[in-house]
Every structure is written in C-alpha cells, then in structure tokens.
Amino acid sequence: MTPGGSTPTGDSRLPGGATGARADLLVAGADLVATVDDTRREIAGGWVAVTDGVISGVGGPSDPRPEAARTIDARGCLVTPGLVNTHHHLYQNLTRAFAPALTGGLFDWLVTLYPLWARLDEEAAYVSAYVGLTELALSGCTTSTDHLYVHPRGAGDLISAEIAAARDLGLRFSPTRGSMSLSVKDGGLPPDSVVQDDDEILAESQRLVEAHHDRAPTAMTRIALAPCSPFSVSTSLMIRTAELAERLDVRLHTHLCETQDEDAFCLEQFGRRPVDYLDDVGWRTDRVWLAHVVWPSAAEVGRLGAAGVGAAHCPSSNMILGSGLSPVAELRAAGAPVGLGVDGSASADSASLWLEARMAMLQGKLRHGAGSMTARDALEMATRGGAACLGRTGEIGELAVGACGDLVVWGLEGVRFAGALSDPIEGWLRCGPVAARHTVVAGRLVVEDGVPTRPGLDEQLAVHRRVSAAMQA
Ligand SMILES: [Zn+2]
C-alpha cells in the first residue's frame, strides 16, 4: 500500500493544503480506498469527497478532510470506484432462465428466444431496464451499457424508454442502438419479424445520438451504435454503421468471436474468419469494443490489441452457453482495453458485476495458473478497463480528483469476512457473495445500506412479472 496524499481541487486549495470548499459527500475512514487511479494508490484509512457530482478530494488519515453536507462512515469497508458494465441486454431479464432454452448453445438459444423477444414494446423496455439497472446498482455498478438489438415493427422508441428508466434511477447509462438486418430468408439467424432495413436503422441511430448523446465529461447518457453480430447483420450495414459512427463521433459495439459456430458461419458466408471480416468492414479501430472475444487466434489477439479494439469479457455467459474461455490475459498484454460485462439476463441470468469480477479472476487462474490473475486485475477490468472500452478514461472507473463522483462502499465485516484480515481487495473478491453497501453515482446514493433509494421497486417488479408472463405465454 502506498500512503495517500491529499489532492484537493485547485480552486478550493487553501494554504497548508486544507480544502476550503464544503463537499456534498464525504466517505471517510475506510479500511482501504482502492483508487485504481493512474498510480493505483491504495489508501488505508482513506477518504473521498464529492462536490457537484465530481470527485473533489481523495486523501489519507493524516490529510485534512473537507467539511461535507453528508458524511458516510466507511469503517470496516473497502471503497472502490463504481464498476462499469460493458455488455448487457437488459430486456432479456424478461425471459430469464427460460425453461425451453436452458441447454442449447448460442445459436439454439437465440432461435428459441427470438419469437418471444418480438413482443418487446416500450413498457417492456422501461421495466426491464428499471429492474436490470437496479440489480446492477446492488452489485456496485454505477455505469452500464446496454445492447438492445431487437426492434420489432411498431414497438416504439425502446432506447428512449430505457434511458428514462436510467434517469429515474440515477445511473450513468450508455445504451447502444443495436440492430439486426439479416433474417433467415437472407441467410441470417433471426426471423423476419425482428429485423429492419439498413436505411431505417441508420436514420434511427442518428436520431437517437442527436436526441440523447451528451459529450460532457460528466455525461449521464451516451449513445453508441451496435449492429448485433456477423450472423444477424448485412455487410453493408456494418460498413455504413462504422461510417456513421465516425461522422457522429460515437463509439461502436458488436458481438465477435463468441463461438466456434460463428467462426464456421463467417468462413461459409464470407470466406473469412471473424477478425478478418472486422477488417473488411472497417471496424478494427479504437472506436470499437467487442463483446466476448472468446475465439481469436494468437495472431488475431495481436491485431486487435495493436488497433486498440476493446473487449467486454463476459465470463458467466461464456460458461453458461458453453462458448469457451476468453484469452483475457493475452488481450490485455497485447494492449486491448478489457472490461467486464454481465451479458444478457437470459444467458448469464444473474446480473451482478461483482460476480463477473470474481468469475474473471477464477477463469484467469484456471487458464494460466493461480498467480496469473489477481483480485486487483479483476477490479481493474471492472473499473478502468470498462472506462477505456467506453472511451471514458479519466472520467469514470477511478477515484481521482476531477473524475465523476461514482464510488462503491463494500462492507467487509460479518460471517463472510471473518478471518480475512490481510488484504481487503483479495478478501473482497474471494469471500462473499458480496453486494454493495452503498452505491454512489455523481455523489448521490442510488443504493444505501444495501437497499435501492428510489421508492417504487415493488410496483415495478409487479409490472415486470405481468410483462414477462405475457412475453413467455
Ligand atoms: Zn451479448
């Protein structure tokens, strides 16, 4: 551990290093503050102050602390940056653990569920996002993406409905405008009822960026563009979406290298492996982050890393669908930003980002030995790695002055942690299961003492049950 220094904001710095400005929130007395900042400072007895939604100070026990409107006692706790979820399909929690789709691999699973998802509408998008983002916040997530690629005809504005849910809850949200344009009749996997034509998809993508995309460093809402996958989207849509993202200066996301079935599909349809196809359509750039990345060859890992293409590692989903073990250590070594994703709630079923961090640690050890992946590596992927995937390095995913005021207070006491005395970060990820005690976004508590702060969850769960039952009927 390195001793922590006080880092007050420039305009509130007083002679002697004390902070004069009153903070909105002070989290103080933590067993450990794991900043995951540029120097990876870990501060025993540390504190974090947030003012106007932004971190205004980080320090240790001997550093002068600012006065604050509210102080949270973090004794017995680990404080980390808020976790960043880089891949999800929130709407899929409407078909969680769906009995007829429990044993298929990716393609069988999709073909079973597409007809149900064709019933998606604005109410379903809102309530699934509300419940799904609440679930994420309880696991310490403060920023989530979503990949909503099913847009049935006449379903309405599903992305705006999701954004409304994120706003109501106070979570930072980066939905991607997903799309499918290649149906069964054109050699793709999805049925005709859930695909759209290219012009409609691109027009809608541009409209959503213009309506919602906030370029400010403290943005609560950003939009990215996200054709679903090589087996559900035309080549022309991949190319035109990349061109549109360049023109609008927004990020690009898709699924790639998820299964060996996908390798076979790409070889048969395009005569190319998935990463070669990515090159062909102009997607091997640092504007892109990819979900899964399980099956790239060693040479392809090098090419992705050299281009700065990010990867959303989804360890639970990759296991539950039998997809495989992603070469995470190799991707990181090659220079690719690697974040974590809970993936869709109908494949991974659980949507705890803490659990994905633990799974990432365990899979890393399984793949290359016990010393190859630590809790710190997993924490880094869950925070800074995710920020890098979203093009938000310095804005989120670290506790540093000027970054967004997003943090999590994790209790390290009670039965689960008895005896875990020597390393709070390893203890946090090895012991458990763990949920957040407090989840803070932009200085506001969205989870307090393990409970969502916004009233009305029971009512939303009742709506969710009704909508889910209708979808599964
Ligand atoms: Zn996915």
- What's the confidence (pLDDT) of residue 76? 97
Q: How far is the CA of 317 from the centre of ligand 1 (A)?
A: 8
- What's the confidence (pLDDT) of residue 4? 36
Comparing CA positions, the residue from 139, 89, 23 lying closest to residue 438 is 139
Q: How far is the CA of 202 from the centre of ligand 1 (A)?
A: 21
CA angle 423, 348, 150 (to 5 degrees): 135
- What's the confidence (pLDDT) of residue 108? 87
DSSP H or E stretch at residue 365: helix 353-368
Q: How far is the CA of 379 from the centre of ligand 1 (A)?
A: 21
Q: How far is the CA of 288 from the centre of ligand 1 (A)?
A: 15
Q: How far is the CA of 294 from the centre of ligand 1 (A)?
A: 12
Q: Please list the pLDDT of the chain residue by residue as tens digits (473 residues).
A: 333 333 333 333 333 334 568 999 999 999 999 999 999 999 999 999 999 999 999 999 999 999 999 999 999 999 999 999 999 999 999 999 999 988 887 888 888 999 999 999 999 999 999 999 999 999 999 999 999 999 999 999 999 999 999 999 999 999 999 999 988 888 888 888 889 999 999 999 999 999 999 999 999 999 999 999 888 899 999 999 999 999 999 999 999 999 998 899 999 989 999 999 999 999 999 999 999 999 999 999 999 999 999 999 999 999 998 899 999 999 999 999 999 999 987 677 899 999 999 999 999 999 999 999 999 999 999 999 999 999 999 999 999 999 999 999 999 999 999 999 999 999 999 998 999 999 999 999 999 999 999 999 999 999 999 999 999 99
**Those residues with Cβ within 8 angstroms of residue 151's Cβ, 6 or more apart along the chain or in another chain:** 120, 158, 178, 179, 194, 196, 204
- What's the confidence (pLDDT) of residue 231? 81
Q: How far is the CA of 7 from the centre of ligand 1 (A)?
A: 39
Concatenated DSSP letters for 211-264? HH---STT-SB--EEEE--TTTS-HHHHHHHHHHHHHHT--EEEEES--HHHHH
Q: How far is the CA of 25 from the centre of ligand 1 (A)?
A: 36
- What's the confidence (pLDDT) of residue 142? 98
- What's the confidence (pLDDT) of residue 92? 94
Q: Evaluate whether 418 touches 384 at the Cβ level (below 8 Å).
A: no
Q: How far is the CA of 41 from the centre of ligand 1 (A)?
A: 33
Q: How far is the CA of 32 from the centre of ligand 1 (A)?
A: 34
Q: Which amino acid is at 46?
A: G
Q: How far is the CA of 344 from the centre of ligand 1 (A)?
A: 6
Strand partners, 57: 49
